[in-house]
Structure 1
Amino acid sequence: MMIASDRQVTCVYNTAHQIYESRLQYHLVKCKKVHNDQKKAICSFDSTHHVPASDYLVHIQTCPNRRVLDEHAYHVDGERRSAEECWKEYVPVNLPPPQESWDTDGPGYTYNPDRVSREKPVIRVMTGGTKSERKAFRQRECRRLQNLNNGLPLNERQSA
């Protein structure tokens, strides 16, 4: 469906493609899949801006849709200020070094579901293994459940 004010634009992947502006996003998704050899970056401010990856940083600085973000981001205390003015006042915060390290600290308590289920009257299932291994596992499980139901102590259950 064409809108009266809808104008035609040229596809960035194939200049032979002329698309109505209202259909451009749909077309770019399809055309990008076909022309995946072209290295294009998608603008953060407008998803219909597919620019060469080498020109991406320049485009981000000069994108006409960046104005919306700038107006919102740099409206401080009721007055509008430029990004440069806001950055001049920025003071980096020196944070203290972290007190914990996930790399050096060993795990405190780890949950082992196999160990826990061995002590409870639940039916366990072996996944994988050969047919004979699964059969042996089922037989061991039957003995384990019988021992649990008979109330045998832990050391006798393990030897059975």
Structure 2
Amino acid sequence: MEENKYAVGPVNYENYLTCPYNSAHRIMPSRFSKHLISCGGDRSLHRCPFNGTHLLSAAAMKDHVIECPDRCSLERYKMPDTLPPAEPQANKFLVETEDDWDADPRAQPYDPKNYLKENHIILNPKGNPPAARREFRERERKRFLENNKF
């Protein structure tokens, strides 16, 4: 019998981030913000106003705020005309066609209550007391006879 063998490579710790509270903690980038909440740690570290996962001391924070790579998103929001766009704008092109959907005649909107009145559709009233159900069935019989559907 042949055994299934799976090759498992070594963990690539280069892509992992180090916890600012405990340097022994190595976390995947996708789980880093959740880890910071659960780890807690040193309260003397300050969060960057542009990215909550940037935790630094007060002295280092002054320099970091000026050089933070996530600052450009705020700058782009505050001054959209002065900075180049984040992504290049798509080419605008026109498609020439002979169809004019605005020229089509307006269709009447669908009215389900009107459709039920005009067609032989059996309705089932739910949640009504017995007297109301009897009255409803009697109205339906009359409706079917008027429409010559019964």
Normalised by the size of structure 2, how large is the TM-score? 0.42
The TM-score with structure 1 as length reference comes to 0.40
- Computing the radius of gyration from Cα coordinates, the structure with the larger value is 2
